[in-house]
Structure 1
Amino acid sequence: MIRPLIAALLSLAWACSAVAQGLSGPSSVESELEPGDGLSDPQYRSDFPQNVTPRWFRWKNQLAENGFRFNVDYLALGQASNADLGTGEAASGIARFYGTWQAAERGSLTFKIENRHSYTDVAPQFLGLDGGALSITGTAFNDTGLLLTNLFWTQRSEDGGWTLQVGQIDVTDFVDVYGLVSPYSGFQNLAFNTNPTINAPNQGLGIAGGLKLGSNLYAVASVADANADPSDPSFDVFSDGNLFKSLELGYTSGFDRIYFDNIHLTIWHADAAEDGSRPEDYGAAFSAAWFVDNQWMPFFRAGASKGTAALYERSVSAGVGYYGRNTDLAGLGLNWANARGIDGDQFTLEAFYRFSVSPGLQITPSVQYIVDPLLDPTQSSVALIGLRTRIVF
């Protein structure tokens, strides 16, 4: 079963000679190395921290001219909740070192090393759960320690028609992405990141390919380790046979706007764990987002799954993002969801405003409001306020 899956993926990746999307969503290393969210001519209020460490940035630019680009950044998130249960507060940080090395004309090596740590007993990722809501309120801000989240080779065709990645990959970099998907620069709640009905694995060994099927159509497929643990990378994935598989078919206005103007359908399947810790799961997700006048990004996203391992069995999200002056970004999203084995429906509202002080400094206050929290029906609602900062060197 495994070999035919890998062979089919390789055939998909090598089959076409047009322009592919590059497997680089907003949270990928490739995208985060480009300031300004991929917008043309981004404007900022300041050039901090470049103006206080000019030698460092001149050295980085010299390395970039020779094909080696990297960033060192630090993100921190603090949240407070009015929930009747739990601690009511959470804070954590993420230190990251990531980059790419253009080792060949059409091949490159991508890496990312992270240290995720919590300042409080409960990390923001779990503050909603701690307060009685079935909700990941601080995606990626946990206490998992030192992680190898990317170490893969990318190969592209001469005309850009296909892209292939092999190595330590993060499927959430390219599975079911849209312009506001990144928890580092956009929404914080998982309801508005990668679809919460998708049982996406942690970062681990895998292979992924993307290609163009027409002037506006593309396909992306992946096979990855369903049991991945980036704190202890394993290379015995395909012999074990516990895999996550995905296939996405999409439409875009142009391949330079792949996650700005995007409509796609994603289907996925995750094998059951051999030790019984995770049942088999599968489902489908739909996403539509379009960048209007290079300012407004309305979106609609929905998903359904067998519901045995993913956070939600069914989920529908809608909202809008607005890019203002100085590449500021405002976002407003509303989600409805239910979960297997739990009666009732849960509604989540999130609003945020990201102040882009400079290419290297962002400050993002946010509000989340969860109605009818599924894990504690005695509460009618739970509210959270948050503050996220990011500094890039």
Structure 2
Amino acid sequence: MKFLPVVYVVSLALVGLANPLQAQGLGGPSSVQADLAPGDGLTDPQFRSDFPQSIAPGWFAWKDGLAEQGFRFNLDYLTLLQSSSSDMGEGEGASGIFRFYGNWQATELGSLTFKLEHRHAYTDVAPQFLGLDGGALSITGTAFNDNGTMLTNLFWTQRAAAGNWTLQAGQIDVTDFLDLYGAVSPYTAFQNLAFNTNPTINTPNPGLGIAGGLQLGSNFYAVGSIADANADPTSPDLDVFSDGDLFKSVEIGYTSDFDRIYFDNIHLTVWQADAADDGSRAEDYGAAFSAAWFIDNTWLPFFRAGVSKGTAALYKRSVSAGIGYYGRNTDGAGLGLNWAKADGIDGDQLTAEAFYRFSISPGLQITPSVQFISNPLINTSEDEIVLFGLRTRIVF
């Protein structure tokens, strides 16, 4: 096999891997486990440069020494610049994210994962909201907002010795493992929410919760979660135990092999979110389907659809299809098309996104992208909106 994808980090520890550092529980392309793997976890990666390792060899040697003792961490900084053709709103958005994240393999079967972030905008409107600002019912820069300091991960993972189940408890982000496929991460793949976690799912912010995965035979698996529906990662607390407003999800999936769980994957997710006690959010529930299959370890065609009650999620109905590409030097690319219908708004909105991720080195990625939104649902004066973007990521 030419490439072994990052799937070992999302194997949910359902299949006991020989190296305990590679079996740290639930996680997908946007999780700490994936972000700790250089080159998106591809074996024998070939890069154009060794920057920034070349300018701070002592720092990286020290990190490697800690990793050998079971403690792995990264510091990284991401930026996203976007420009919109819309005649409404600001027209430009820029944002940055500083992250400190890692994992401590405390015992053979248990580990502690953490992630602390600071998200900040350089413009009046952050990229996450630039589409909305221009009249499209669309999150065009997922995660690139102005939320400030956030504790997005601080949880314990416990695995079975046989590798057939895993549990996580603590400050979790359900989007790290919910409704996954290979191009779900807004840090390395698509930027529009239409191609990230299904936009019909009313996912909560990172907060207190518990999640688990279970192997069902040789090809089937189940993943479930219960999390705080009112979570605020900028001010984490234990209020979930007093107010009882919860988000619940169950997913049943099929994979060709647990080493390829989110590249060869077909699954159905059902979820429900309680109404907020203060009346700010009605109860919501729905279901999502996803099918993606890695062909020749290069091409990743995908089809994803979802439906919800529609009172709180971005869309009431959504269908996405497209293809991902994994090339030499661990470059990545994607082309996606989405049809969406919103609750209480007449008309359909069509979205397309294309990106190409240049992996300059294990610690430097540059990703230009373009998004095309037809029939923007909250800007009836325009037929379409085009957004150009440039994302960078540097890892220390």
TM-score normalised per structure 1: 0.95
Whether the aligned pair in 2 keeps the contact of 1:18 and 1:211 (CA below 8 Å) is no
C-alpha separation in 1, matches of 2:15 and 2:262: 18
Is structure 2 residue 239 aligned with structure 1 residue 254? no
Q: Relative to 1, partners in 2 of residues 1:196 and 1:17: Cα closer, same or farther, differing over 3 Å? A: closer
Q: What's 2:20 paired with?
A: none
In structure 2, the residue matched to 1:82 is 85
Q: Deviations over 1:261-309 (max 9, x none)?
A: 1110000000000000011000000000111111000000000000000
RMSD: 1.2
Partner of 2:110: 107
User: Partner letter of residue 31 of structure 1?
Assistant: A
User: What secondary structure does 1:37 align onto?
Assistant: helix
Q: Does 1:152 align with 2:155?
A: yes
Give the Cα–Cα distance (whole angstroms) in 1 for the partners of residues 312 and 257 of structure 2.
Answer: 35
Distance 1:17 1:255 in 2: 7
Q: Distance in 1 between matches of 2:280 and 2:104?
A: 38
- State the 1:324 CA deviation: 1.1
Contact 2:156–2:169 (8 Å) recurs in 1: yes
Deviations 1:301-339 (A, max 9, x none): 000000000000000000001111101111000000010
Which segment drifts farther, 232-241 or 198-207? 232-241
1:13 matched residue in structure 2: none
Amino acid at match of 1:214: G
Distance of aligned partners of 1:125 and 1:17 in 2 relative to their CA distance in 1, 3 Å threshold: closer
Matching residue's letter, 2:195: F
> Displacement, 1:23?
1.2
Q: Say which is worse superposed, 238-247 or 182-191, in terms of deviation.
A: 238-247
Contact 1:19 1:162 in 2 (8 A): no
Q: How far off its partner does 1:19 sit? A: 5.6
CA distance in 2, matches of 1:286, 1:147: 30
- Which whole-Å CA distance do the structure 2 matches of 1:19 and 1:210 have between them? 13
Give the secondary-structure state (helix, strand or coil) at the position aligned to 1:57. Answer: helix
Match of 2:183 in 1: 180
Tell me the equivalent position of 1:349. Answer: 352
Which of 114, 127, 141 pairs up with 2:130? 127
Give the match for residue 211 of structure 2.
Answer: 208
3-state secondary structure, aligned to 1:62: helix
- Alpha carbons 2:175, 2:203 under 8 Å: kept: yes
Partner of 1:42: 45
The Cα of 1:40 is off from its aligned counterpart by 2.3
- Choose the corresponding residue for 1:196, options 196, 199, 206: 199
Give, in whole Å, the separation in 2 of the partners of 1:247 and 1:143. 31
1:303 touches 1:315 (CA, 8 Å); kept in 2? yes
TM superposition shift of 1:38: 2.4
**Stretches of structure 2 lacking an aligned partner (at least 5 in a row):** 1-12, 18-22
* Rounded Cα–Cα distance in structure 2 between residues aligned with 1:285 and 1:17: 22
How far residue 17 of structure 1 moved from its aligned partner, in angstroms, is: 8.3
Cα distance, 1:114–1:17 mapped onto 2, change above 3 Å: closer
Deviations 1:76-129 (A, max 9, x none): 000000101000000000000000001111000000000000000000000000
Equivalent residue of 1:256, what SS? helix
Q: State the AA in 1 paired with 2:319.
A: V
CA offsets 1:216-269 (integer angstroms, 9 cap, x no match): 100000000000000000112133110000000001111111111111000000
Work out whether residues 15 and 258 of structure 2, in 8 Å CA contact, stay in contact via their aligned partners in 1: no
Secondary structure of the structure 2 residue equivalent to 1:250 = strand
Structure 2 Cα separation of the partners of residues 277 and 329 of structure 1: 40
Contact 2:16 2:161 in 1 (8 A): no
Aligned to 2:62: 59
Deviations 1:341-375 (A, max 9, x none): 00000000000000000010000000000000001
Q: In structure 2, what is the Cα distance between the partners aligned to 1:74 and 1:378?
A: 37
Q: For residue 310 of structure 1, what is the aligned residue in structure 2?
A: 313
The answer for the alignment partner of 1:278 in structure 2 is 281
SS at match of 2:34: helix
| Distance (whole Å) between structure 2 residues aligned to residue 293 and residue 78 of structure 1 | 33
Which residue number corresponds to residue 97 of structure 1?
Answer: 100
Map 1:163-178 → 2, pairs under 5 A: 163-178=166-181
2:222 is the alignment partner of 1:219 = yes
**374, 378, 382: which one aligns with 1:375:** 378
Please say if residues 261 and 291 of structure 1, whose CA atoms lie closer than 8 Å, have aligned partners that are also in contact.
Answer: yes
Task: Confirm or deny that 1:138 pairs with 2:141.
Answer: yes
1:360 aligns with 2:363: yes
Matched, 1:239 2:242: yes
Structure 1 CA distance, aligned partners of 2:318 and 2:28?
A: 21
Which residue identity is paired with 2:123?
Answer: T
Instruction: Report if the CA contact (8 A) 2:289-2:305 is conserved.
Output: yes
Contact 2:222 2:251 in 1 (8 A): yes
* Structure 2: distance between partners of 1:126 and 1:368: 14
The CA deviation string for residues 151-179 of structure 1, in whole angstroms up to 9 with x for no partner, is 00000011211110000000000000110
Contact 1:19 1:212 (C-alpha < 8 Å) held by counterparts: no
Report the AA paired with residue 296 of structure 2.
D
Q: Is the Cα contact below 8 Å between 2:78 and 2:391 reproduced in 1? A: yes
The one-letter code sitting in structure 1 at the alignment partner of 2:91 is G
2: CA distance between counterparts of 1:258 and 1:24? 11
Q: Match for 1:299 among 290, 296, 302? A: 302
Q: For 1:51, what is the secondary structure of its paired residue?
A: helix
